[in-house]
Structure 1
């Protein structure tokens, strides 16, 4: 959901961009301290077995033997040689992962990972994601979007609605009591208002809203990459987009106070695809697993791919919580397969201390990091203790597990994120525990969008691309 007015009022003034964003892609490699980095956009996190195999081959043949998962459900390859770009492009192209090379960095589409897989919601948003991706790749104007511009498609459960979309679609059903079956609410940036549109129009409406942003950004002269960066007087609201939709022949009803999504996750900060077995509506099962700190070996990745091929539907879904969902397993084999993945080092239990624990790349992969945050987070998991009730002001709240040096591991229900510098690349949205490496050691603070943040994340600098 949009941040509270108190949070918006404390935000820094929007930056003025004098150049395009430097986000890496599959074809534009980024020079990191551990070699070159490629970021492969996977709309809605969807992968076929063939495509997943191609990524494993690329990591094996060209990279460091690992795959990284991002908070936008994309995949990264690290440790790439400077001259491997052509070979990588060929691998990805042959697997169907580059439908349009001119659009490959703007295919940032998040969708609810469990849509159509559990007993709660239909799979409409997954279809919308495919249709939106096709529209993006066919749009000449969309090539002007930043590699950071984000589309979010929520199936109505509220799991991805709050993940910072520039254009968000929230599916409605007849049971919501607010709109007709198959309708959607379209939101723009942090505007609390929304537009109700017919479900079949949702993908085209999302693209139209993005094109309206490009028009507003050009008129502002700010070079804004995202809706929230538009300066005062040039912002984009639901009312502005309503006019663009009418011009495109799309009917839209203005909703000043849209209903909140019917969140079905518990506790409040839980992701919908928590590790474990997901029971489907037709007796099928899905397996949901997490990668420790979002990093998998090629062997772990190939095991996931083999299970998806042999027992599943032949597909994998990456989640914005750096996890993987394998749909379509028979109920009889799902427990054994989950145990197999656990034995391979993947997170399969929501009670695991690794659940909701994240970290940026840190050293040695990032030269800007002050320390090896991943090694420190791993040590904290191994030696976790609890903060005493009389912990001094500024320390984590009582009951939060911490390492002996006072750094939290994973408080119940609240994500913890370790950052090697003030950029805090890939940090969570909503409420989270910020573990920041400073020259004096780690500084720990609770970031809450509904109150004044204890340690608000610094805005990303234009010179360095964050890892979302």
Structure 2
């Protein structure tokens, strides 16, 4: 049985431990629960979002036995359980360990890996990232050094289509069709070309190089490094890769500005087996919806709070898609919920100024418009990347901005009036720049 931590404050870390920088890494995990207004919260890291039916069933069982029964998908393809008893840590750890969801207690919060969810399914990527995914997770869990990574540090495995490359990961591996891979460090255009088979090892070496820089600067993520340190990091990674015997050359490739999620519906390209892509309104799954998904096949949870169901018999695909639609999930382009997201808001979060999920539901508009994300406070937890409409609760109303990356334009504040708010959001979502 893995040792578990309850929702009590974590023990102090040694001064040299990277997780103790700036007062400690407060990111919740499966073994470090977070106290919220609706009970304790656990965040279970699921590399690549990949869950077997057995693992998905175990998560659903844990949510029902120990929490409020619901499962919440995050913007990194992970799962949060809410409403947990504050003393359930050991029982939750045992359930997750038995299902193979906790391969290393020391590394459970650093297994932040997103991957192209349609890799190997639709024939559009340059490489299948599944071997990278299992290889990188094994290397992360087997390294003493990577246990010091922050729970915020993110790896991305992109099969070449550019979907998760746009998510702002700290380290991104990009597939190519020529037997090589590109390693991007942060958001820069400079990339390092390595043999594809060495991709996971290169990402591990890059993470270790970041940790060495972070010890001097106190940075949690690559984007937090001072400019001079960040500029020197790729050269240090090259030095370490060559010392490890990895062939590496420098190249350039701009990072995409917009992260495009898989289209909802039947995934094209399946022959012997079909795959289905569905969206989850506000990332919230009630028990019946989770059972339907988890019983359909292997899951790939996406960074866009959706799921791809794989291994579906072709003659079952249309009927299953209809059942998922009847259950309230997004199965096609016509749903008004497509592109609508929100943080947990009130009453689950004490910092939130509004019940933004209820407000998002009241203001949901026609499908196919610019995405919109509702936040209950200035932290804007879980906000997306690319271009979207940013709605933030502020004292006395809501601030509405059009975001493109970190640049806000057209900012306006709307007083607390549901009709005026819905109209302002609809207008803001009307056109894509």
Matched with 2:193 is: 196
Which of the numbers 234, 248, 263 marks the counterpart of 1:252?
Answer: 248
Give yes or no for the alignment of 1:271 onto 2:260: yes
Residue number among 227, 231, 251 corresponding to 1:232 in the alignment: 227
Partner of 1:325: 308
Deviations 1:392-438, CA, capped at 9 Å, x for gaps? xxxxxxxxx6xxxxxxxx662x3210000000000001111101111
Answering whether residue 32 of structure 2 is matched by residue 28 of structure 1, we say yes
| Pairing of 1:314-463 with structure 2 (within 5 A) | 315-381=298-364, 384=365, 412=369, 414-449=370-405, 453=409
Tell me if structure 1 keeps the 8 A contact 2:188–2:255. Answer: no
- Partner of residue 47 from structure 1, selected from 44, 51, 60: 51
1:36, 1:80 within 8 Å by CA — same for their partners in 2?
yes
Following superposition of structure 1 onto structure 2, how do residues 178-193 of structure 1 map, counting pairs within 5 Å? 181-193=178-190
Distance 1:327 1:30 in 2: 32
Q: Distance in 1 between matches of 2:209 and 2:233?
A: 10
Residues 450, 425 of structure 1: alpha-carbon distance in 2 compared, 3 angstrom cutoff? closer
Equivalent residue in structure 2 for 1:300, among 289, 298, 308: 289
CA contact (8 A) 2:272 2:314 kept: yes
- Pick closer, same or farther for the CA change 1:437–1:170 going to 2, 3 Å: same
- The answer to which structure has the higher helix fraction is 2
Alignment partners' CA distance in 1, 2:407 and 2:152: 26
Report deviation, 1:353: 1.3
Equivalence for 1:103: 107
State the Cα distance separating 1:239 from its structure 2 match: 2.3
Answering whether residue 215 of structure 2 is matched by residue 218 of structure 1, we say: yes
CA contact (8 A) 2:127 2:176 kept: no
The alpha-carbon deviation at position 119 of structure 1 amounts to 2.4
Do the aligned partners of 2:259 and 2:385 also contact (CA within 8 Å) in 1? no
Structure-1 separation of matches of 2:42 and 2:290:
17
1:290 matches 2:246 = no
Per-residue deviation, 1:355: 0.8
1:73 corresponds to 2:29: no
TM-score (norm 1): 0.80
Given that residues 415 and 428 in structure 1 are in contact (C-alpha distance below 8 angstroms), is that contact kept between their aligned partners in structure 2?
Answer: no
Closer, same or farther: CA 61–122 of 1 in aligned 2, 3 Å: farther
- In 1: Cα distance, 2:110 partner to 2:240 partner: 21
Partner SS, residue 27 of structure 1: coil
- Does the CA-based 8 Å contact 1:286-1:327 persist in structure 2? yes
SS in 2 for 1:333: helix
Deviation at residue 443 of structure 1 after TM alignment: 1.6
Tell me the alpha carbon deviations over residues 46-92 of structure 1, each in whole angstroms, 9 at most, x when there is no partner.
Answer: 10111000000000000101000000000000000110001000000
Aligned equivalents of 2:277 and 2:88: distance in 1? Answer: 33
Change in 2 beyond 3 A, CA 1:451/1:83: closer
Q: Which residue number in structure 1 is paired with residue 120 of structure 2?
A: 116
Is 1:87 aligned to 2:91, yes or no? yes
Runs (5+) with no aligned partner, structure 1: 1-15, 174-180, 262-267, 309-314, 385-400, 402-409, 457-468
Secondary structure in 2 matching 1:287: strand
* Equivalent residue number for residue 15 of structure 2: none
- Contact 2:32 2:42 (8 Å CA) reproduced: yes
**C-alpha contact (below 8 Å) 2:402/2:408 kept by paired residues:** no
Is the Cα contact below 8 Å between 2:210 and 2:233 reproduced in 1? no
Q: Counterpart in 2 of 1:176?
A: none
Aligned equivalents of 2:261, 2:122: Cα separation in 1: 10
- Matched residue pairs, number? 392
Segments of 4+ moved more than 6 angstroms: none
Counterpart of 1:349 in 2: which secondary structure? coil
